[in-house]
Amino acid sequence: MLEPALLPTPLVDCTDPALARAGVELRLKRDDLLHPTVPGNKWRKLAPNLAAAVEQGHTRLLTFGGAYSTHLRAVAVAAAALGLESVGLVRGEELADRPRNWSLRAAEEAGMELAFLSRAEYREVTGRGAADEATAEGIQRRWGPCLVLPEGGSNALAAIGAAAIPAELPDLGARDVVCCPVGTGGTLAGIAAGLPAGARALGVAVLRGGAGYLEGEVARLHRAAYGREFGNWRIDHGHHGGGYGKVPAELAAFAERFERQHGIALERRYVAKLLAALHDLAAAGEFPRGARLTAVITGLPDPV
């Protein structure tokens, strides 16, 4: 078990005048305080996977990520904490001979062995997934027996881990909407599955062009983890800010204002997009008056 720093994570009121005018309450579920190096949804999604790895006698984890992947760093730290080896397959073979950026250096310093794949190879391996027999065989041949975690860490166990978030929210009912950013869909899938009857989940997509695909991913995770689909969630695709990793000036200004007003440092690529989207949707009258939103603060700002 990867010991959390703080569990359950704090729930704090964060209604501001603009939201109050729209008749909407906002609370923050401070999952960013869960663990200093495996924060937020990384801890929620990894904890059950690590427990399974240890139980199944695995000694090595293998996963995938881009040059600045939070998931790679989190897996590296979490594996080391449990005495497991870790391997990270990184998108971009050109990175192999360059000095490591801060993120890959952190993963390596935590003990992760990195290998670099061309973009085509990476797309092929992550696209087919470790469930594909040829892919699994190729990985085991090259890296030996290991537990393979998907890119972003979203699998059935990850969704089950994230389902503990709504279980920490008391008195959820028909006026509640529990909200999170969506990258691969695992966090949203878990939140929706963990809600009591009447409450709803809202995901805000942080990447462009994910409509349809992301809904399919959430439904797939629901079938894999719970053997059924859920009808209590939706994804907003109108607030990706131009695409994954893009932080337009308007979003940056919102984040700075929010940080000043509420004294909390915001991760920009996911968390700030979520909070800006909620403010925008509330101002547009998308939530009924009396609605209570709970925004899950799924991560910490980058250390640099």
Ligand X SMILES: Cc1ncc(COP(=O)(O)O)c(C=O)c1O
Q: Give contact residues for ligand X (rule: CB under 6 A).
A: 40-41, 70-71, 152, 154, 181-188, 267, 270-271, 298-299
Instruction: Provide, rounded to whole angstroms, the least separation between the CB of residue 45 and ligand X.
Output: 6
Kindly report the backbone phi and psi dihedral angles of residue 116, in degrees, each rounded to the nearest multiple of 5, phi listed first.
-115, 130
Instruction: Choose between 22 and 155: whose C-beta lies nearer to ligand X.
Output: 155
Instruction: Choose between 14 and 162: whose C-beta lies nearer to ligand X.
Output: 162
Instruction: Provide, rounded to whole angstroms, the least separation between the CB of residue 220 and ligand X.
Output: 13
Instruction: Choose between 71 and 279: whose C-beta lies nearer to ligand X.
Output: 71
Instruction: Provide, rounded to whole angstroms, the least separation between the CB of residue 155 and ligand X.
Output: 10
Instruction: Choose between 22 and 153: whose C-beta lies nearer to ligand X.
Output: 153
What are 199's two structure tokens?
């409450």
Instruction: Provide, rounded to whole angstroms, the least separation between the CB of residue 40 and ligand X.
Output: 6
Cis peptide before 150 (omega within 30 of 0): no
Number of Cα atoms under 13 Å in the Cβ half of residue 221: 28
Instruction: Choose between 125 and 189: whose C-beta lies nearer to ligand X.
Output: 189
Instruction: Choose between 175 and 234: whose C-beta lies nearer to ligand X.
Output: 234
Instruction: Provide, rounded to whole angstroms, the least separation between the CB of residue 17 and ligand X.
Output: 27
Residue 146: exposure state from Cβ atoms within 10 A (0-12, 13-18, ≥19): buried
Distance from the first to the final alpha carbon of the chain? 29
The overall longest dimension of the chain from CA atoms, in Å, is 60
Helix ranges restricted to H, the chain: 17-21, 40-55, 70-81, 102-109, 119-128, 133-143, 156-162, 164-167, 186-194, 213-226, 249-262, 273-283
CA 163 to CA 195: how far, in whole Å?
Answer: 8
Which residue lies nearest ligand X, judged by its C-beta? 299
Instruction: Provide, rounded to whole angstroms, the least separation between the CB of residue 133 and ligand X.
Output: 25
Strands of the sheet with 11-13, listed across from one edge: 11-13, 25-29, 292-296, 176-182, 200-205, 233-236
